[in-house]
Amino acid sequence: MSKILEIPLEICWEPQAACDCNFDDLYERVTENNVKFISVAELNSIDNPSQVIYINKMKHKNYFYETYLKDKVEQKDFDQEYVRFMRQLKVKPHLLLKINEFTQNFMPHDDILGVHIRRTDHVNYIRSNYPESVFSSDAKFISAIGKEIFKGYSKIFLATDNQLTKDMIFQNFPDLVISYCQDFNDNYQQKIDKNNQRHTTVEDALIDLYLLSKCKKIIGSYGSSFSEYAALLGKIPLIYP
């Protein structure tokens, strides 16, 4: 959006309970012109706030186009620039090493079916903002996976933020499922009990994201930007159960 409007992009990453890390823990700094990272203190001390477009809530990419760019650029040109910017983000070397090692050891072939099942706080979000008919239930996932497996996939790569969901998929598709995250941390379990947040670390979630992108196809969770971003990174089809 900043490139199309020809204005600087200033990014302020503020750790929260659901994402308790910094951008620098996950990604290399963006080196493009007009892109700058600022602290919370710098954000609060901007001289002319009336000249700033504040985006402080999670928004779908189409929000930016519809709100600010619809009269200035074609949708396809915006989509192309969005994809270019997102794909040029580089994960930290230690995370890239884990991604590559897992891929070489457990995903050596290109016939892996990716499955992303988002639970925890996402369940309430979907049910509060969308019709119940679009909710990606366990039964829908099992049915969709069963149909896709018959198309010749050798393995299922599962990414989920919930231990019960992981157990359910492993039980229904024994010997077919592989999953990166083996440890659902007790501290995160306590968070889920109190705040309905993720069971897994942010680093594990990021690794899951990039492993999903290496699959041939993704069955994703409706309304999840995680599913969408993984498909975008890998240039692969995304379907919903």
SS3 per-residue string spanning 39-53: CHHHHHCCCCHHHCC
CB atoms near residue 42 (< 10 Å): 12
Find the range with the poorest average confidence among 8-22, 123-137, 156-170. 123-137
Q: Name the pTM for this structure.
A: 0.81
Find the range with the poorest average confidence among 113-117, 190-194, 220-224. 190-194
- Span 135-143, mean pLDDT? 85
7-41 confidence digits (pLDDT tens): 777 777 776 666 667 788 888 887 777 777 777 67
**To 10 degrees, what angle do helices 93-106 and 202-212 make?**
50
Distance (Å, whole) CA 129 – CA 60: 14
**To 10 degrees, what angle do helices 202-212 and 225-234 make?**
50
CA torsion, points 10, 14, 15, 18, in degrees to nearest 10?
Answer: -90
Rg (CA), the chain: 19
What's the CATH number for 93-239? 3.40.50.11350
- Span 98-110, mean pLDDT? 91
Sequence spans of domains, the chain = 2-87, 93-239
Amino acid in position 77: D
